[in-house]
Amino acid sequence: MINKDIAVIMGSESDYSTMIYAANMLKVLEISYDMFIISAHRTPDRLFNFARSAQANGFKVVIAGAGGAAHLPGMVASLTYLPVIGVPIQSKQLNGLDSLLSIVQMPKGVPVATMSIGESGAYNAAIAAASILSISDNNIANKLKRWRDQQTIEVAEKPA
């Protein structure tokens, strides 16, 4: 059993430069996570094994980044009852629009919460995952509240 709160998964090594933003935000909030490379197309057995055992391994939320055809978040969502948050990776071909549409256009009955394209999406995916966990974990709820309060404090009332 892995027993981390969040699994951060990505379709390829090149997605790491985006998904590190999710990992960094989880570190700030002191939420446990593990990262994996799982390609929906090149490692289907790894995908099935991960998704089918994610809950038994202690994960509570999956953040899945994928580019191009971006099947990873949807395939994971079809194989687990855990919440899946999709992060579209910015692609060279269509600037990430292909990834976004592939993730957001899930069929009825297989939801994937979809973030914005790229780094901001990965960052917000970690915050969304923290929000999900905060429902049943007061420690995470308090950390998230302190972080959000600090965000408010840092906004100046007037421009410098």
**pLDDT tens-digit series, residues 31-50:** 999 999 999 999 999 999 99
pLDDT tens for each residue of 48-65: 999 999 999 999 999 999
What pLDDT does residue 93 have?
Answer: 83
Residue 12 scores a pLDDT above 90 = yes
Using left for φ > 0, alpha for ψ between -120 and 50, and beta otherwise, residue 106 falls in: beta
pLDDT tens for each residue of 58-84: 999 999 999 988 999 999 999 999 999
User: What are the helix and strand counts (H, E) for the chain?
Assistant: 6, 5
User: Which of 1-5, 67-71, 96-100 is predicted most confidently?
Assistant: 96-100
What pLDDT does residue 112 have?
Answer: 98
SS3 content of the chain, % helix, strand, coil (to 5): 45, 15, 40
- The pLDDT > 90 percentage for the chain reads 94
Quick one: CATH architecture of 6-154? Answer: 3-Layer(aba) Sandwich (3.40)
12 belongs to an annotated ligand binding site: yes
15 belongs to an annotated ligand binding site: yes
80-91 burial string, b = 16+ CB within 10 Å, else e? bebbbbbbbbbb
42 belongs to an annotated ligand binding site: yes
- The pLDDT > 70 percentage for the chain reads 99
What pLDDT does residue 52 have?
Answer: 97
The pLDDT mean for the chain works out to 96
For residues 119-137, average pLDDT: 98
Angle at alpha carbon of residue 21, lines to 16 and 26, rounded to 5°: 115
CB-based contact 62:84 (threshold 8 Å): yes
